[in-house]
């Protein structure tokens, strides 16, 4: 595929974004990808890399984006799939909770609790972190 045709391909921006996240140290998302050691398989790099990526991933289904099955794994044919935003949210890393209480997040001087996939269910704001954590833990039983 020629360079001109490649840049007009519907998957080109997805491919380019994947590479930038993994290799461009100035990109805002590099800290969550390249800096963590996430890379791209050799098959998807080099002269035929884009063509191989397109061949391996196929056409992007409507409403889906590139996702890694194992969030700590590299971009490769065996570890990548097309996912909805909701599926992507369930495949996130568990980041350390700075409050020390599960489900409690400090926001504007109060502790907020959310539950459900991607924190879609708002449980309230609380003065103490243990109150937010309790709301989260109770909600988790019923969700």
Backbone angles phi, psi at 97, to 5 degrees: -85, 115
Residue 11's pLDDT is 96
Q: In the chain, how many domains are there?
A: 2
Do 32 and 85 reside in the same domain of the chain?
yes
- What is the per-residue pLDDT for 3? 57
Do 74 and 120 lie in one domain? The reply is no
25 part of a folded domain: yes
Is the pLDDT reported for residue 114 higher than 60? Answer: yes
Phi, psi of 116 (to 5 degrees): 85, 170
Kindly state whether residues 9 and 53 are assigned to the same domain: yes
Residue 13 lies in a domain: yes
- Rounded to whole angstroms, the Cα distance separating 105 from 138 reads 16
What's residue 116's pLDDT? 76
- Is residue 131 classed as helix, strand or coil in its secondary structure? helix
What Rg do the C-alpha atoms of the chain give, in angstroms? 19
Judge if pTM exceeds 0.85.
no
44 and 110 co-located in one domain: no
Which CA distances in Å does 60 have to 32, 34, 45, 140?
24, 24, 19, 34
Give the residue, 121 or 54, on which the prediction is more confident.
Answer: 54
For residue 64, the 8-state DSSP code is -
| Domain that residue 53 falls in | 3-89
- 120 and 81 assigned to the same domain: no
């Amino acid at each position: 595929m020629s360079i001109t045709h490649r840049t007009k391909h519907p998957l080109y921006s997805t491919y380019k974004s994947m590479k930038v996240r993994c290799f461009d140290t100035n990109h805002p998302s590099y800290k969550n990808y390249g800096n963590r050691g996430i890379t791209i398989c050799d098959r998807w790099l080099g002269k035929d890399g884009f063509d191989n990526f397109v061949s391996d991933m196929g056409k992007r289904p409507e409403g889906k984006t590139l996702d890694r099955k194992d969030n700590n794994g590299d971009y490769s044919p065996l570890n990548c799939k097309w996912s909805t935003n909701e599926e992507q949210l369930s495949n996130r890393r568990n980041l350390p909770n700075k409050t020390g209480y599960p489900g409690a997040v400090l926001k504007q001087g109060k502790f907020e609790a959310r539950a459900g996939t991607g924190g879609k269910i708002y449980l309230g704001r609380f003065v103490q972190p243990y109150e937010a954590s309790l709301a989260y833990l109770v909600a988790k039983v019923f969700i």
